[in-house]
Amino acid sequence: MSASTNASENGLKQQGWTWFSQALTQHDTFSGYFQPLIQMLLPQWTTDAYRAQIVDVRDEMSDMYSLVLKPQTGLLDRIWPEFKAGQFIELMVEKEGRRTLRCFSISSSPAYYEKTGLIELSIRIQQKGRITPWIRQQLTIGSLVNISEAQGQFVLPESLLQGPSSEKLLLIAGGSGITPFRSMLQQVHSQHLKGSHALDIHLLYYSRDAQQVLFQQEFEQLEKDCAGLTISFLDSESDGFICSDHLQAYCSDYYQRTAFICGPSPMIQQARKVLAELEVAKDKIYFEFFGAAPLEIENSEQGVVLFQASDKSIVSEKDKTNTLLEQAEQQGLSPVSGCRIGVCHQCICKKKSGVVFNTRTQEYSDTGSEEIQLCISVAQGDVVLDL
C-alpha cells in the first residue's frame, strides 16, 4: 500500500471521527447530528442559518460597498424565506475561526428577489470596525456566507402595498440609513410600474457630502418614474441636521404623514425630538437604529450585580449606564454574545432577582426571575444573575 493511500485513509478516518465526536457533543436537533457530515459536501451548511453565495461585490463610494447575495437552493439547503421591504438580516462570517454576526438591512426589494433570486446589502466600512473592512478585503465572488431570515418591524404599511391607499409617508434618512428606504422605494416603484395605485411619499435624504450621495442617480430615476414620490437631497454639512424649518420648507404637510426614520443614532434622536415638539403622535413615528439604542434612563439606581455561578460581583454606580454584558466582561467573565445590540438573542441569561432597564424597549423589568438580554440590560439596584 502506498504512502499516499495510507495518508488519505487516515484523513478519511480523521474526518469520520471528527464528525462522530462533534455529532455526539454539539447538537440538540436531529439534523444537527449530521451537520459535520453534510459540511464535507456543502461548505457553510448549518442547521441554524441559510447559505448564500456572493455573486458580486460593488464599490458604491469610497467607504461603501454592496454585496449581491444569492441564497442557495440546493437539495439539502433550507430555502430562505420571503422578506418585507425594510427588513434586515444577520450576516454571519467566520473570522479567525470564530463565527461573528453583524446586522444589515436588505437594500434591494422583494420584487427584485422574486425576479432574480438575489438580495443586496449595502455596507458602510467602519474605520475601526472589526468586520465591515474585513468583509470587503476577504470575501470575494463565489464566497459562501450564512445569513438569518429577514427580521424587523421597520416595514412599509401593508395598506400601501395592497392597493389604493390614502396613507402618506415621510421618510427621513441619514447616510447609510438610506438602505431600508432603497428597498421600500424599489418595491413601491415595481408596483407603480404595474399600474397599481397612486402614491404620496416624501423622502428627506441627508448626506455628509453633497458630492457623494449613495444611490443618487437611482433615486432621481425613481422620482421621475413614480408620480407622488418626492425626494429632497440635503447636505448635512451646509444645510445642518433635521429641524422644524426643514420640515416646513420641504414637506409642510408632515403632520398628516406617518414618519419612518433611519440613520445614525444622534440623527434619529434629533428627528424624534423635532417631531415630538411639532406634536406628531408617537404612534405615527417608526425608527430603526443602526447601532445600540442610546441609553435613556432618568435616574439609574446604585446597587450590586452578583454573577452567582461565577461568585463574582460588581457595584453599579448611580447614573453610570454600563450594560450587564459590559459589567460581566469587566469582571473577566466571557458570556456568549453576538451582535451586542439586542438583535441576535445570543446573550440571553437568567436573572434570578432584581430590576433591569431594557435599553431597546425602554422598559423596566419585574423583580422576579426571568430571561434577559445582557447586552441591552442595565441594572437598577441589586441584581442577581445565573452567570
Q: Which residues bind ligand FAD (CB under 6 A)?
A: 88, 102-105, 122-124, 126-132, 176, 179, 288, 290, 341, 343
Which residue is it, cell 409642510? Answer: 252
| Separation of first and last alpha carbons in the chain | 54
Measured between alpha carbons, how far is 314 from 265 in angstroms, rounded to an integer? 29
Q: What is the DSSP string of 292-329?
A: PPPP--SSPPPEEEEEGGGTEEEEEPTT----HHHHHH
Which positions lie near ligand FES, rule CB under 6 A?
337-340, 342-347, 373, 375
Tell me whether residue 173 or residue 199 sits nearer to ligand FAD (CB atom): 173
Q: Please name every residue paired with 174 in a beta bridge, in sequence order, or none if there are none.
A: 206
The interface partner of residue 219, options being ligand FES, ligand FAD, none and the CB cut-off 5 to 8 Å by kind, is none
CB of 329 to ligand FAD, least distance (A): 14
Among 55, 63, 170, which Cα is nearest to 108's?
Answer: 55
Q: Which does 373 bind (CB under 5 to 8 A by kind): ligand FES, ligand FAD, none?
A: ligand FES
Cβ atoms of 323 and 374 closer than 8 Å:
yes
Name which of 179 and 316 has its Cβ closer to ligand FAD.
Answer: 179
Nearest CB to ligand FAD, comparing residues 199 and 293: 293
Q: What residue 176 binds from ligand FAD, ligand FES, none (CB within 5 to 8 A, per partner kind)?
A: ligand FAD
104 binds, among ligand FAD, ligand FES, none (CB under 5 to 8 A by kind): ligand FAD
**Closest residue to ligand FAD using C-beta atoms:** 129
The CA radius of gyration of the chain, in Å to the nearest whole number, is 24
Quote the CA–CA distance of 170 and 260 in Å, as a whole number.
Answer: 6
CA angle 220, 224, 228 (to 5 degrees): 110
Q: Specify whether the CB–CB gap between 187 and 111 falls below 8 A.
A: yes
314 or 324: CB nearest ligand FES: 324
Q: Look at residue 130 and give the partner it binds from ligand FAD, ligand FES, none, a contact being a CB closer than 5 to 8 Å depending on partner kind.
A: ligand FAD
Distance of CA 62 to the CA centre of its chain: 22
Q: Which is nearer to ligand FAD, 47 or 100 (CB)?
A: 100
DSSP state of 353: E
Element (H, E) at 7: helix 3-25
Q: Which does 88 bind (CB under 5 to 8 A by kind): ligand FES, ligand FAD, none?
A: ligand FAD
